[in-house]
A and B are shown apart, each in its own frame.
Chain A
Amino acid sequence: MPLFAIVRDPIDPRTLEAAVWSEACGGIAIFLGVVREHAGDGRPVSGLTYEAHEAMALAEFAAIAREVSEQHAGVRLGIVHRIGDLRIGEIAVAVCAAAPHRAQAFDACRYAIDELKARASIWKKEHYSDGSGDWVSN
């Protein structure tokens, strides 16, 4: 699979893991963002809807990966974000960082998810159990 993708079907993190792996890496850090049953303010959540400006989001994923490469030589980063309607427990985003050593893998993975949340052209609507919903920003 490509290293950067926006998908509508469920995410299989093992596929992304396989895409970033190389014989030179000694560690792979994986972050999975999953749909939680409550909002930041504690309200019960029944599900999320994501939408994206796909071309802009993919360009941002690639930019984040370039920044990671500048910080840590030899790191390979993969990012997949799902859009559409997601249920509790489903994976919304997977970030995989493969590196020669674990410290770089953890650093790259953390950097990538933090930057994605701040920069990528992706939006999230929380659906509450009372039938209402809100677009929430990070």
Chain B
Amino acid sequence: MSAATTVTVRVRAFARMRELLGEGEFEIVVPAGATLVDCWEALRARNRAIDALAPATRIARNGRVVARLEERVADGDEIALLPPVGGG
């Protein structure tokens, strides 16, 4: 049995980030061993305008905000793109 060569990650995007990416929930396929940086590159391919939001956007992996984008993603992970919040 050979190791999988790709992983599928579920992306959730909100607010302006959702508008720029065209939908709020979708999947991307990245190479096995990919990090969150690689995921971001895959998202940029949809719309490079997300670059402008990058400095203010937090990324959560499976519900927890990550400190380092060098974290690797695993098959089935949920990656959430969280712009500055505006509740209340």
> Contacts A56-B60, A135-B16: A113 and B82 contacting too (C-beta < 8 A)?
no
* A103 located at the interface, meaning its Cβ lies under 8 Å from any Cβ of chain B in the complex: no
Of the residues B12, B14, B60, contact of A123 by C-beta under 8 Å? B14
* B55 located at the interface, meaning its Cβ lies under 8 Å from any Cβ of chain A in the complex: no
B81 to chain A, nearest CB (A): 10
Can you identify 10 A-B contacts, CB atoms within 8 angstroms?
A: A53-B14, A93-B87, A120-B87, A121-B82, A121-B87, A122-B86, A123-B15, A135-B83, A137-B84, A138-B86
Complex interface residues of chain B between 48 and 88 (CB less than 8 A to chain A): 60, 63, 80, 82-88
* A8 located at the interface, meaning its Cβ lies under 8 Å from any Cβ of chain B in the complex: no
Task: Report B-chain residues with C-beta under 8 Å of the C-beta of A118.
Answer: 85
4 A-B pairs with least C-beta separation: A122-B87, A137-B84, A124-B86, A123-B15
Size bracket, chain B contacts: 10 to 19
Closest to B12 in A: A53
* A125 located at the interface, meaning its Cβ lies under 8 Å from any Cβ of chain B in the complex: yes
Q: Could you tell me if A123 and B88 are in contact, using CB atoms closer than 8 angstroms? A: no
A residues touching B (Cβ–Cβ < 8 Å)?
33, 50-53, 55-57, 59, 81, 92-93, 113, 116-125, 135-138
Distance in angstroms between the alpha carbons of A33 and B84 in the assembled complex: 19
Distance in angstroms between the alpha carbons of A81 and B86 in the assembled complex: 12
Most A Cβ at <10 Å: residue of B15, B24, B83: B15
Distance in angstroms between the alpha carbons of A33 and B86 in the assembled complex: 12
Distance in angstroms between the alpha carbons of A53 and B18 in the assembled complex: 12
Closest to A113 in B: B88
Most A Cβ at <10 Å: residue of B80, B84, B85, B87: B87
Q: Could you tell me if A116 and B86 are in contact, using CB atoms closer than 8 angstroms? A: no
Distance in angstroms between the alpha carbons of A55 and B18 in the assembled complex: 17
Q: Could you tell me if B83 and A56 are in contact, using CB atoms closer than 8 angstroms? A: no
